Each structure stands twice: as C-alpha cells, then as structure tokens.
Structure 1
Amino acid sequence: MGHVGIIANPASGKDIRRLVAYGTVVDNLEKVNIVRRLILSLAAGGITKITYMPEYYGIVAGAMESICSRHRPDITVEAAELCLTGTQIDSFFAAEAMAAAGVGCIITLGGDGTNRMVAKGCRHVPILPISTGTNNVFPAWIEGTIAGLAAAVVAKGLVAGAPAVTPSKKLVILKDGQPVDIAIVDAVVLKNAFIGSRAVWDAGQIRRIVVTRGEPHNIGISAIAGQLAPVLPGEPKGVDIEVGAGGSIEVRAPIAPGLIENVPVYQYRYIDLDEVVEVSAPCIIALDGEREVQVREGEKVEIKLTFDGPNVIDAAAALRLAVARGYGIRQITQNHENKEEQ
C-alpha cells in the first residue's frame, strides 16, 4: 500500500513581509488547486491512502470534495489525529503523527518556516517541499501534478537514495550544551533582545548570520551568504557572517521579495560540519526567518552545523530514475484470435 502525508500550511505566505516588501500572496484557494492536482497524481501513481494535517481553512478536504465525480479517484483521504492550536506547532505534530503512521513521504506546502517545523517531527521520512511561502530557499517551485507523481514513486519504494532522495543540513541551537531548536536554512542573531514581530525583514537589526546554504539566486537572509560566500545544499560546510561596520565589504542582497539592501559585513568564513558558533550577548535568534530563541544574560548558546537535516525528494531526479527502471510503461497483450475475427 502506498501512503503519503500532506501538510498544507494555511498561514504560509501571509506574514509582515507582505507589507514591508513586495512578495506574492499564494492564497489558500490556490493551495486547494495545488492539492487537488496532488491527489489526482498520487492516485494515478498507485497511492491508496493520504493522511493530511487538519487546519482551519480545510485545504485538503476542500480539494478532495472539489474533484468532479468523473475524475474522483479511489483513494482514502483522512485527517491526522492531533489537537489543533492554529499555530506553526501544528505542522510539527502533524509530521510526527504521519511518521508514526508509516507514511512513505510527506508533501509540504509552505515556506522555510513550515518546513523547519516539519523537519523537527518527520524523523527519517523524506519530504517533498512545494514552495508557497515568503522565504523559499528550502522548498522549490514545482507543479503539483509532478510533485504528486514523484512522491508516489518514493512512497511506493520504486526509488530510494541519491539522487532522488538526499539528506540535508541543519543548524542545532544549543543552550548550555542541550539542543533547544533547529534551523534548516539560517540562524540569524539579532541586536534586539525581544521577539516582537516574528518575521525578520530589517537588515539593520542583524548582528550575525549562520547558514547551511546560500546561493546567488536565493531570496531572504541567506541571500547575503549567496552573494558573498556561496555554499550549495549538498556541500559539507556552512557560512558564518558577522554583520556590521568596521569591515571593508558591503553586500547587496535581496533579503525579501523586491527588497534589496546593502549590508555591511565585518568578516565572514566557511565553517565545517560539527563546528559551533558561539553567541554571547543577550539577543534574539531568528530561525529560518522567524524570531524563536531568546538569549538572556549569562546563557551559553551555540549554533552547530550538522548534516542531520531531513531527507529531501528531488522530484525531477526521482522521476528520471523511476523511468529508467521502466516506470510509466505498461505492456499491452492482444488476444490474437479476437484480432483475427475482427
């Protein structure tokens, strides 16, 4: 039996960066459209069960109901059992429940923040992230039909391992040596010591940046690394950047949609796997674009780079590998006697 999880975040792509920058809003109606195509392609790929995260808009349930009777697939679609909070923690609990239920993969609709929460709960279940958020370094823009077909070949075990499914890096936040949170793209140390608005959009508040990845075509805070010291998702290293006056470098980077700023850099360096970056003064650390960790006076906080992030599905590579193994081709056997009679 093929079993797939779907986590569609109804709040993704609606934070303050829509007001202070110029991002596109992927509304929940469009998410319903994407999920509708996901359901149809998952069923065509042989998936017989979908478990989804329940949420206040009813994205997955609405998608299933809106498929016309002529195309409605024979597939079980049911909500994961969890107590809804209406916050980002729902994505974590949904991923945890899906992993426990034995799904073959989890499809996510959201941005970096959504996928960070899923990464905390999905264990070793591979994820296929579809971009519908503000910062979209981790998820990719991919058509729902293709995403569903790729998820199906992975969930049914037709393909596995690289290049179809690859591990990813993460940053572990340690307080007094104990892990308290993670980031999958960037951890940003801010000058102020209070959370306020969760989203990060003001480069003037940044003190330090640690990234797992950063390329010139990225958008968000990791774009600073992309313009200065590019590092690919699969490379066994990250980048540590100290922001501020006193250096000889200024980087121009798109830190939000349509918002390109000049950022002064004091110094920067590549960091190796398992290397730690120490955070000493009181501050707030934003994880994948959202303020999450408060550092108080006297606390010892470190940011550690590891390669223990979630396993990620590359849809194009998964389908190429599946086709090379004969996926999508069915031999047709004709009845010779009937053909002669005709």
Structure 2
Amino acid sequence: MLIGEVARRSGVSTRMLRHYDSLGLVQPTGRTVGGYREYSEEDIRRIFHVEGLRSLGLSLRQIGTALADADFPPAVLVGDLIRRTEDRIEREQELLDRLRAIDASAPGGWQDVLRVVELLHGLDSPHAARRQQAVLAPAEDGPVPADVLAKAVLAESDPNVAGALRWALARAGGDGVATVAAGLRSADAGVRHRAVRAMAELPGDEAAAALVGALGDPDPAVRRPAALAVGSRGGRAAVPVLVGMVVEGASDVEAAEVLSVLATGHGCADQVMSALAGELAAPTADSAVRVRLTQALAELPATLTKDVLRHLAHDDDQAVARLAATLQRAP
C-alpha cells in the first residue's frame, strides 16, 4: 500500500509518516519499481500501535523504546504519564477556576479583570502577610468576588488571614454561602471546621440551615462551633450539643451563655432545663461534670432554676451542694 493510501486510511499525514520513517519508528518494508514507499499490513499495524501510544502522551522516543523491546516494562512509563497528566489537569483546573472567578465578578473593563487577577495572585502567595494584604486591599476598589473568598477561606490555615477572609466574605453579602457550605461535605475535618467558622458569620436562612446540618458532624471541633452559632441564632436543635459541651468541659462557659439565650428569648426553657437536669442525674456524671452543670444553671433566670438549686443545695456531693447554696444566695 502506497503512502498516500496509508495516510487516507490511517488518518496520519504523509508528512508524519515520512517523519516516522526518518526516525526508524515505522519504516515501510517495501519499495515499488519506481522507488515509492510501500507499506505492508504489518507496517500499518505498527502505525496504529504508534498512534495508540501517542494518544497516551508518550514521546516518539519513548514509543520507539517500547516497541523495540517486547520485554520493556510499561509500569514506569505509565506511572510517569499519570503524574504528568495529573499535574497538567491540576494546572488546567486552576486556570478554569481563575477564569470562572473573573467571569463571576462581572468585570466592566480590563481594569476589573486585572484587579481580580491581582487578588488571585495575592491569595496564592506563600506568605501569610501578603495573602492578608490581598484580601483587605481591594476593599477600596470595589467588591471582591465572593466565590474567590469562599474558596480561599476553606483552604486558609493562618488564623489572621482566615479572619480577614471571613470579614471580607461577610461584607460580600452572603453570595459565597453555597461554596462555603460545600466545605461541610469535605472529608477533611479542618476544611469543615473552617467552613463552620465562616458560615457562622454569614447572614441568611441558607447559612443557618447549613450550620444546623453541621450539628451532627462526627468531629467535635466542627459540631461545637456550629452549636454555638446555631444557638446564638435561636436554633433549639443546638441544645443537645451545647449541653454536651458543658458535660465535656469544652467551651462550657460559652455554651452555658448560649443556653441562657435560648431559654430566655427563644421559648426553649423547658428543653434546656430538662437536658441539664437529666445530665445532673446521670449515674455516669462525676463531681467535676455536675459542678459544671450547676454553674451552667447560674446563667439561667432564677425563676427557672430556683427549685433545682434548692434541691442541689442538699446534694451528697459537697462541692455541688456548696455551689448550689451560693448560687441561691446570689442576688
């Protein structure tokens, strides 16, 4: 089969076929009387082998090595191709994210585009101070794209930069709620924690609903701040987690204060009192736990706690009894 027909049937240009020939990669086994290249069926099969390996990203040199040695192990080459492809996909994804961020900012001109690009470059800096500066600087130039801030806050581990990002995101008007909420589904507990911290500062029902969903998170570092945020917004679903925080001694003072807010201003008094009393009566509660629960009662209105404190003033645990008696006498 002559080179022109091979090109038509294989889809490989005659120029490329001649290049393969010059490299010794696919050399036609025959020549016509007139000296034209003539390809055999085996030659054509080799062309398709070359094209198949090219489609995987192998260089022509690598392909030549692979085809020349039937025992050549593919694992090393394939592993290298996988790593290079993953790197390329990551770079392409970063570019796509940048373009989407610019598009979402609805730029009115190239100055707006350059401002977003500068922000993205700043957020990519390895220096925390530079990232913080990038977040705060654009405030005078116009709104910062909320989606950019939301993605950055999920990835930011420096507390000062994270605080600046949460502040800027809250100023953006809640447009990044969906992106932050997606962080609550991350397998990384650190990302979920950052998502809850950011969500707690965002307004609106969507943020509130996402925080309620985080109350069941298996990681206490996620569900505890979620409970403080939900309770502060009047969500009674936070009561069990808040009482659990008092029992565990984890931010128990803050938890007790939020329980007071729920009991006095959101119609949750019976639920709060029942939960605290139940833990006080639990056979597994040691003295330290019962003291913290008694202290939590001090945050609630006296009209709700007086009967419980009167009973606790005669408790067998002297530490609990003395504390309850003191609280009874407090004005």
Task: Return the TM-score normalized by structure 2.
Answer: 0.28
Bigger Rg over Cα: 2
Task: Return the TM-score normalized by structure 1.
Answer: 0.28
Q: Which has the higher strand share?
A: 1
